[in-house]
Amino acid sequence: MIHNTDENLLDIADLTKVFSLRQGFSTTKLVAVDKASFVLKATQPEIVALAGESGSGKTTVARMILGLTEPTSGIIRYKNKNLTQLTRQEKRSWFLKEVQPIFQNPFATFSPLKRIETYLFETASNYNVVEKENVNQYVDDILNLVGLSLAEISGRYPNELSGGQAQRVSVARALITAPSLLVADEPVSMVDASLRMSIVNLFRQLKDEQAVSVLYITHDLATAYYAADRIAIMLGGWIVEYGSVEKVLGQPLHPYTQNLKQSIPDPDPDRKWEGQINLAVLETDEFTNMGCKYASRCPEVMEVCKQKIPTDFLVEDRTVKCFLYEDKNQA
Amino acid sequence: MAIIAEAKHLKAYYITQSYGIERTVKAVDDISLEIKEKEILGIAGESGCGKSTLLKALLGTIDPPLKIVDGTMQYEFEESYNVLSMSKDEIKQIRWTKVSYIPQGSMHVLNPVRKIRDTFHDFIATHQNLNKSETTQLSQDYLQKLGLSGQVMNAYPHQLSGGMRQRATIALATILSPKLVFADEPTTALDVLVQRGVVQLLKEIQQREGSTLVLVSHDMGVHANLADRIAILYAGKLVEEADTRSIFKNPLHPYTQYLIESLPRLDDKTERSSIPGRPPALDNPPEGCRFHPRCPHAMDICTKEVPPLVDMGGGHKTACFLVSEEKT
């Protein structure tokens, strides 16, 4: 796909990360992310989900976008600037304000010994976002956005809040610098079931009302479908299918996505799972396959899948990394 | 159907004392539960509602600060066992051979410096007088029956994928054909494909061995797929108990209604609300019905009295004045 780069908030092209694992004298290379490409559009705020099983490289992508891990190769452009070439000054005064993280476990995000509102005030003063005399009002306004108020959380420690509330404060902290992009890594997986939807709804609301884009990383496809506009499915470091959620999860084309969709436990006793599935035996199996990483488990495996790595084919408004669609390629 | 285990008015509290201040956390408060033979009973509830504590009480693994304040817990095999009055050695006799337990984090259960083969040997040899080649044969056969690859036996735990590790743990817990199996969040932290594989395996074992499975999980999707009957816990109390279909199609308790309502589904993007408020802290739960501060239908009586668990017919039990008042 050819993109006009001006239209993209975040443009990731051929992003690769190779980890070298040393065991005694031998070194094994593990390709955690392999030529991943996707974009977040700038024309309108959107929520893009990055989904896949554990170990598929979701978090590594997030860490590279946040600048916590150096990419081995590939380019990350944010608002048309190459992130790996930013100076420290630029990074601090511009990039860190623009892109903010939200982590998985709200209780690990905050120190249990600090009052929770200090994080909000410290972020405000570190980034100089508001004059000192107005800071209380500013923090209160931000907390209102996430459905809390300063009076409610002031003087309280993280353990006095529920998981949902603490995660809201975590979102509020990220919003202090008025970012354009939130990178949320599994933001609901540690939150109580009854409060989970409140966090997902919050992302939808922020997108609509505050024009904040969200990169929503999750393994929960049901909430991804609910919240996101577009989705990228990851498998062994690849993005195997990428397009709008209605297309990708509505009518999945890649056999892996099809398998994933069927495996979502439907909260309806009338629709139970049927049939059997194959799972990988050893952790490293899929990373060391010659051809397609899904070949050993794929129900529609062909000879070519074991020899060659598939490229991205453009089929029905989405990209699919599978030889099944070689003939239908529209690009 | 015969009853294989029964808890009556079980109260398990965590009682701690520091600097003369006593703190009581009422994690399981007056729960009565019958587990029928050969059924899959799902226990659902959010984190901190007492699921794991209830499981500890059902298993008889009571260690301070956890204390059983009141109630009884009985297993009915060929003879009946009163779990709470049994000594540690007596419990050891029936553990794994009659009553088994599948722990939550398979990552931390298997010994990282021993091959799976050795773990299986250690495990079986404690209960049966077999030598190493016999136990290897036995476990190999069993894994084969479950459709797991023989490669597993020669691997160290860290070499296995997360799903395979969890399935090896399940195989280990069920190899001595226990009649009653408790599983504590067996699929949490696994991704959907692996989760499906694990659920498939649990069901297969339960059906082939004719055993009883008690499944503790917060994932309603898993319950819908696996459980025959579901018990919903909220803040240390049993609020609803019914067969799976009734829980999903006709929930009676407002908490269950909210819980079912808030589940996101594929092919549906309409707005879902979450339950207002937050779960109460169990060291100081609200008076009366513990859900009343979050309940949209709360009445006067809810703030004062604890609603009893009432059978609404057909084994559908619920603890809510709204529903039980209507009936009378």
- Helix ranges (H only) for chain B are 51-59, 88-94, 106-109, 116-127, 132-145, 162-174, 192-209, 220-226, 244-249, 254-261, 300-304, 321-327
On whether any CB of chain A is under 8 Å from the CB of B193, the answer is yes
From chain B, the residues in CB contact with A261 under 8 A are 266
Tell me whether residues B196 and A165 touch, CB distance under 8 A. no
Neighbours of B223 (CB within 10 A): 25
Question: How high is the mean pLDDT of chain A?
Answer: 85
Strands A230-235, A238-244: pairing kind: antiparallel
On whether any CB of chain A is under 8 Å from the CB of B132, the answer is no
Per-residue pLDDT at A284: 57
Domain for residue A330, yes or no? no
Mean pLDDT value across residues B242-247: 92
Per-residue pLDDT at A240: 92
Looking at chain B, the whole-number percentage of residues with pLDDT higher than 70 is 98
Total tally of structural domains belonging to chain A: 1
The CA distance from B245 to the nearest CA of chain A, in Å, is 6
The two tokens of residue B115 are 């091959």
pLDDT in tens, A207-228: 999 899 999 998 888 889 999 9
Tell me whether residues A267 and B259 touch, CB distance under 8 A. no
Question: Is pLDDT of A330 > 80?
Answer: no
B60 to each of A273, B57, B81, B126, how far by Cα in Å?
Answer: 34, 5, 11, 20
Interface test with B, best of A58, A200, A268 (most B CBs within 10 A): A268
Per-residue pLDDT at A327: 82
Interface test with A, best of B153, B225, B272, B274 (most A CBs within 10 A): B274
On whether any CB of chain A is under 8 Å from the CB of B202, the answer is no
Tell me whether residues B265 and A267 touch, CB distance under 8 A. yes
Interface test with A, best of B25, B115, B187, B193 (most A CBs within 10 A): B193
Per-residue pLDDT at A280: 62
Q: Which range marks the domain in which residue A95 is found?
A: 5-325
Question: Is pLDDT of A286 > 90?
Answer: no
At A276, the pLDDT band (50, 70, 90 cuts) reads low
Looking at chain A, the whole-number percentage of residues with pLDDT higher than 70 is 92
Question: Is pLDDT of B94 > 90?
Answer: no
State the DSSP code for A308. Answer: S
On whether any CB of chain B is under 8 Å from the CB of A219, the answer is yes
Question: Is pLDDT of A278 > 80?
Answer: no
Domain for residue A69, yes or no? yes
On whether any CB of chain B is under 8 Å from the CB of A279, the answer is yes
On whether any CB of chain A is under 8 Å from the CB of B172, the answer is no
The CA distance from A54 to the nearest CA of chain B, in Å, is 6
On whether any CB of chain B is under 8 Å from the CB of A195, the answer is yes
Looking at chain B, the whole-number percentage of residues with pLDDT higher than 90 is 16
- Helix ranges (H only) for chain A are 58-65, 88-90, 96-98, 106-109, 117-126, 135-145, 150-153, 163-175, 193-210, 221-227, 245-250, 255-263, 303-307
Tell me whether residues A279 and B274 touch, CB distance under 8 A. no
HEC profile of B198-251: HHHHHHHHHHHHCCEEEEECCCHHHHHHHCCEEEEEECCEEEEEEEHHHHHHCC
Closest CA to A58 of A198, A153, A183: A183
Domain for residue A167, yes or no? yes
In this complex, which of B149, B191, B224 lies closest to A267 when CB atoms are compared?
Answer: B224
pLDDT in tens, A295-322: 888 888 888 888 888 888 888 888 999 9
Q: Rank A23-37, B175-189, B244-258 by mean pLDDT and report only the highest.
A: B244-258
Using a 10 angstrom Cβ sphere, with 0-12 exposed, 13-18 middle and 19 or more buried, the burial of residue A299 is exposed
From chain A, the residues in CB contact with B259 under 8 A are 193-194
User: Do A206 and A213 contact (CB within 8 A), yes or no?
Assistant: no
Strands B229-234, B80-82: pairing kind: unpaired
Domain for residue A295, yes or no? yes
pLDDT in tens, A242-265: 999 999 998 999 999 998 888 888
Which range (A97-106, B287-296, B317-326) has the least confidence? Answer: B317-326
Rounded to whole angstroms, the Cα distance separating B115 from A114 reads: 44
Looking at chain A, the whole-number percentage of residues with pLDDT higher than 90 is 27
State the DSSP code for A199. Answer: H
Rounded to whole angstroms, the Cα distance separating B73 from A154 reads: 45
From chain B, the residues in CB contact with A259 under 8 A are 193
Question: Is pLDDT of B176 > 70?
Answer: yes
Domain for residue A331, yes or no? no
pLDDT in tens, B95-154: 888 899 888 766 678 888 999 899 999 888 888 888 888 888 889 888 888 877 777 888
User: Do A294 and A239 contact (CB within 8 A), yes or no?
Assistant: no
Domain for residue A193, yes or no? yes
From chain A, the residues in CB contact with B290 under 8 A are none
A13's enclosing H/E stretch is strand A8-23
CATH number assigned to the domain comprising residue A174: 3.40.50.300
Closest CA to A121 of A147, A150, A99, A158: A150
On whether any CB of chain A is under 8 Å from the CB of B218, the answer is yes
Question: Is pLDDT of B281 > 80?
Answer: no
At A139, the pLDDT band (50, 70, 90 cuts) reads very high
pLDDT in tens, A55-92: 788 889 999 999 888 999 999 999 888 888 888 888 88
From chain A, the residues in CB contact with B192 under 8 A are 53, 219, 221, 260, 263-265
Torsion sign, CA atoms B236, B239, B241, B245: negative
Tell me whether residues A279 and B162 touch, CB distance under 8 A. no
On whether any CB of chain A is under 8 Å from the CB of B261, the answer is no
The CA distance from B72 to the nearest CA of chain A, in Å, is 30
Rounded to whole angstroms, the Cα distance separating B159 from B156 reads: 6
Closest CA to A253 of A281, A231, A273: A231
On whether any CB of chain B is under 8 Å from the CB of A166, the answer is no
Torsion sign, CA atoms B211, B101, B130, B86: negative
| Chain center to CA of B165 | 20
Interface test with A, best of B192, B283, B295 (most A CBs within 10 A): B192
Question: Is pLDDT of A118 > 50?
Answer: yes
Domain for residue A319, yes or no? yes
Per-residue pLDDT at B200: 85
Intra-chain end-to-end CA distance of chain B, in Å? 29
At A1, the pLDDT band (50, 70, 90 cuts) reads very low
The two tokens of residue A212 are 């904040």
On whether any CB of chain B is under 8 Å from the CB of A105, the answer is no
Per-residue pLDDT at A2: 46
In this complex, which of B189, B269, B275 lies closest to A194 when CB atoms are compared?
Answer: B275
Rounded to whole angstroms, the Cα distance separating B211 from A3 reads: 58
From chain B, the residues in CB contact with A164 under 8 A are 274, 278
The reply to whether omega before B307 is within 30° of 0 (cis) is: no
B207 to each of B149, B204, B211, B264, how far by Cα in Å?
Answer: 21, 5, 7, 30
Domain for residue A101, yes or no? yes
